[in-house]
Structure 1
């Protein structure tokens, strides 16, 4: 992937598209701090994290919700406990967690599957648990890699409505997808396209500058 230079406006809604192998997943990994840039600068929430100590990164990651393409659910935990995990990490009590987690599971159509563990869930159900977990703590940045690839059209619309609701609350949303109907459904969303190492910025202008920088919440 060539050098990219762009900024995400806090509270914006972005779709990232491009052919397979264009680097979408690699770019998302930079956004949720799973990788660091090999050159250039990386800014997040107003902080330059390019050379930040490794022990400082978990605090920033807790401000980010991630929907992974391969779900990454904890197999021995129930759907309820997978969704509750970010709230428990944040120090909330079981009493505080119960209502929001039940409500979120109901929103994604899994109210009756709260006690089920991931190996007993279908791919689409696992996807919905992963999305519920990503948004339950109202992250400042939500990064989703093909979040509707395993669900039907009706559920895809319901999930994108959830992302829009998070966005209205101030969350910056970045969704990588090939689904153009999904993109068309979100009014006001901005489109970025990766192709041949080049990025079309939100205004549609192709750019190919020498560095990668990214900022949200500044």
Structure 2
């Protein structure tokens, strides 16, 4: 079983303040689906930033896709990041681009020929129920619609790992369940999915998903071993 993520004694400190994350250790088998839970300010977003390489740890070891991510040369970061889909809490859509062009961004950045962009973008917009909003600018979309565009953009490149920070926070319960089903479908195609959420009711809706809880910057580990196999193992 391949290990896609490995953290060992990872600590993160911003500036000279106290550690935001302390002694975080876990590993994820490729193809796993799990939820990261915890109170606001517990460190969920900081942990996700380490996962998608927006932040380097203050100490400890992180391996992603079998390589040391802490010492990874800066020139290799863009290629590594393209293997990770990210759904940000604040969406980060490009305001002057249409919904369709926002979704298409990862393909264009990766050098996909323009003739091969339209079909997957159309499929993704249908996937999130926004085919009729393809030409809309982000400012004209509701919060829930922006969230769905952000999700379509994150998954269009079929990433090896998807990291989502509160992805259902701006949608109604019916759409939240639909989005979880989309993540579930992506996971069953082999993508490792990590979803940070404060909504514990969501967790029971994905059969076989794992859960990690972070409290005051430390992972709660009642089993004594945060080693997660694929969900169907």
Normalising by structure 1, we get a TM-score of 0.91
Q: State the alpha-carbon separation in 2 of the partners of residues 51 and 95 from structure 1.
A: 37
Query: How do residues 12-161 of structure 1 correspond to structure 2 at under 5 angstroms?
Result: 12-161=32-181
> Does the 8 A contact of 1:200 with 1:206 survive in 2?
no
1:120-168 per-residue CA deviation (whole Å, 9 max, x = no partner) reads: 1111110000000000110000000000100111111111111011101
Per-residue deviation, 1:206: 5.8
CA RMSD of aligned residues (A): 1.5
Partner of 1:171: 191
> What SS is found at the alignment partner of 2:195?
strand
Higher relative contact order (CA 8 A, sep 6+): 1
Q: 1:8 aligns with which of 13, 23, 28?
A: 28
Give the gaps of 5 or more residues in structure 2. Answer: 1-20
Contact 2:163 / 2:194 at 8 angstroms: preserved in 1? yes
| Higher percent of residues as strand | 2
How far, CA to CA, are the matches of 2:117 and 2:214 in structure 1? Answer: 39
CA distance in 1: counterparts of 2:195 and 2:206, whole angstroms: 11
2 CA distance for matches of 1:14 and 1:132?
Answer: 20
Give the superposition deviation at 1:207.
7.4
Match of 2:9 in 1: none
Distance 1:207 1:37, change over 3 A: farther
Asked if 1:205 corresponds to 2:223, the answer is yes
Deviation at 1:8, TM superposition (A): 1.1
Q: Provide the rounded CA distance (Å) in 1 between the counterparts of 2:70 and 2:217.
A: 21
User: How many pairs were matched up?
Assistant: 207
Cα distance in 1 between the residues matched to 2:77 and 2:146:
27
Q: Structure 1 195/3 Cα, relative in aligned 2: closer, same or farther at 3 Å? A: same
User: What do residues 22-52 of structure 1 show as CA deviations (whole Å, max 9, x unaligned)?
Assistant: 0000000000000011001110000012112
Q: Where do 4+ consecutive residues of structure 1 move more than 6 Å?
A: none
Mean alpha-carbon deviation: is it higher for 179-188 or for 142-151? 179-188
CA distance 1:10–1:35, change in 2 (3 Å): same
Secondary structure, counterpart of 1:2 in structure 2: strand
C-alpha separation in 2, matches of 1:65 and 1:32? 8
